[in-house]
A = this chain, B = another copy of it.
Amino acid sequence: MIPRYARPEMTQVWEPATKFRIWYEIEAHACDAMAELGVIPKANAEAVWKARDVEFDVARIDEIEAVTKHDVIAFLTHLAEHIGADDARFVHQGMTSSDVLDTTFNLQLVRAADILLADMDKLLAALKKRAYEHKDTVRIGRSHGIHAEPTTMGLTFARFYAEMDRNKNRLEKARWEIATGAISGAVGTFANIDPFVEEHVCAQLGLRPEPISTQVIPRDRHAMFFATLGVIASSIENVATEIRHMQRTEVLEAEEFFSAGQKGSSAMPHKRNPVLTENLTGLARLVRMAVVPAMENVALWHERDISHSSVERGIGPDATITLDFALNRLAGVIEKLVVYPDNMLANMNKFRGLVMSQRVLLALTQAGVSREDAYRLVQRNAMKVWEQGKDFKTELLADPEVTAALTPAEIEEKFDLGYHTKHVDTIFRRVFGEG
């Protein structure tokens, strides 16, 4: 976790206090279930809830762990300090540490997913707003970084919306993947604890019982979860890359927002750097690097080995905290992005009408000019634009061979931007389900 790329809301999910709180709830709910089964006295189960409002003392638990060398035992010892050794005596009965640890880890991931889903909504709202705002703002579409045909800035925002909407859907699936808990004992056979306890605890925590666990919850779930985060990060990189390109000095079709107070370089007004989207590009790499180790974690030895644990201590907090920060940063960038429609037009006209040459070519052939002749006609006028900076339409209108085939109005019509934007509404309807 890199503090400057962390938001408190997500960081808090991974704090020791949160973890101990979840441990407590698991143990307390488990006692309830055991009492209901008649395995332990109801009074003892109820007594555990005496600590309901306690804030566990992390330093004290660490102190005990320094002696016991076992985190769960340290916590249970501390819990007994609150509810009394006698009342605490049935807590954790028949359970294994992993029952608590794995269920907790999954619950933390679920909470992280919920925050990420809310981030997504914020980002989607920003993208949608900007999409409608610039639905008809024409700019040149580019393939290979080279001008191709006109499109609109709204379509750019809309495609990022569609991509992030897919990502939200994926994240919902990923959340579902890890929303399970397990209280099944040393090798998952429920030898010392009734499956009902697992069912009860999971229901209370909003989790599903893991249908079959060993000592641990199977790690293919987590591999899928982190892989999904990796895909989302890659989409963030996609959006960030577009903005970085738009802000290039020579392109300047948009800029990250600079607050009045914020100094780029007051002496060099052009020197406003897309540092937020560059940063997002790097953060995407950081999130993505969790994917492979999460997959390497799947193949554990027999009923479990503990190789996955250190990996998850790293990537669990790091990937979710970084992604949460990145989604929020990106939402802010989109909300406040300064768009320059005039520069978009100027760029499109850099080669004075040349981007329309293919349409003219098509029109000539449709008007009966042979393919070869049409090429020749378009090319000789295009070359004047390319080499001498002439205006394409003007040249065409002045070329008798061209005007023999197409009327001035027809030529004029080929330069109508509406030709390229006529299906924008259709596409918006597809993306947003409305006009």
Contact = CB atoms under 8 A, between A and B. Distances in A.
A166 B420 CA distance: 45
Interface in A352-375: 354-355, 357-358, 360-362, 375
A307 B271 CA distance: 17
B141 A221 contact: no
A159 B282 contact: no
B279 A148 contact: no
How many copies of this chain does one complex carry? 4
A142 B310 contact: no
A44 B292 CA distance: 52
Contacts of A266: 375, 379
Contacts of A185: 149
Interface stretch (A24-32, A225-233, A332-340): A225-233
B351 A187 contact: no
A245 B189 contact: no
A181 interface: no
A238 B212 contact: no
Contact of A187 (B149, B188, B212): B149
Contacts of A292: 285, 288-289, 291-292
Given A189-B155, A268-B354, A292-B289, A278 B144 contact: yes
B318 A314 contact: yes
A206 interface: no
Interface of A: 2, 4-5, 69, 140-151, 155, 158-159, 162-163, 166-167, 170, 173, 177, 185-192, 195, 209, 211-215, 218, 220-221, 223-224, 227-228, 230-231, 233-235, 237-238, 240-242, 244-245, 247-251, 262-263, 265-275, 278-279, 281-286, 288-293, 295-311, 313-315, 318, 322, 347, 350-351, 354-355, 357-358, 360-362, 375, 378-379, 382-383, 386, 419-424, 426-427, 430-431
Given A151-B214, A286-B315, 20 more contacts: A2-B314, A140-B249, A141-B303, A145-B249, A145-B305, A150-B187, A167-B220, A189-B421, A189-B427, A190-B422, A223-B234, A234-B295, A250-B251, A265-B357, A267-B360, A268-B355, A269-B354, A279-B306, A288-B293, A291-B292
9 nearest A-B residue pairs (beta carbon): A141-B187, A144-B273, A282-B310, A234-B298, A142-B302, A281-B307, A227-B227, A285-B293, A211-B430
